[in-house]
Amino acid sequence: MTDPVAGIGLAVVIVGLALSTFVTRTSFLLAGARLRLGHRVEVALRYAPVCTLAAIIVPDVLIHPPGHAVDWSLLNPRLIGALAASAWLIWSRNILGCLALGMAGYTLARLYL
């Protein structure tokens, strides 16, 4: 059951994923003005990018193999980098400085902790 997908099965998977991506991405373009979302839905969708980003970043920062344990300690270099970047962004609203400080904090913590 753990055999990799190969040959025609791989082609079917790729075509299926491409079609599902195409249909979901173009559905709003094809519907155009005929489909109007409610005000509450539009307000809720404003938070979708932030929620998606948090759902991707938080597990990567806190969960580490081999044991897949959550690491809240201040010896976690990823957490130090994320905290440094967050503090800078809250203080200055400068995204370039946020990236630079986050990477600097992560690199220094990884090298010296």
pLDDT tens digit string along 53-80? 899 999 989 998 777 888 888 899 999 9
Write down the pTM of the prediction: 0.64
pLDDT tens digit string along 22-56? 998 888 788 776 777 789 988 998 999 889 989 99
Are 54 and 87 part of one and the same domain?
yes
Number of independent structural domains in the chain: 2
- The pLDDT of residue 6 is 78
Are 22 and 55 part of one and the same domain?
no
Q: Does residue 59 sit within a domain?
A: yes
Q: Would you state the torsion angle of the CA atoms of residues 59, 57, 100, 110, taken in this order, to the nearest 10 degrees?
A: 10
Are 2 and 28 part of one and the same domain?
yes
Q: Domain span at residue 87?
A: 50-112
Are 31 and 54 part of one and the same domain?
no
- The pLDDT of residue 37 is 79
Q: Does residue 4 sit within a domain?
A: yes
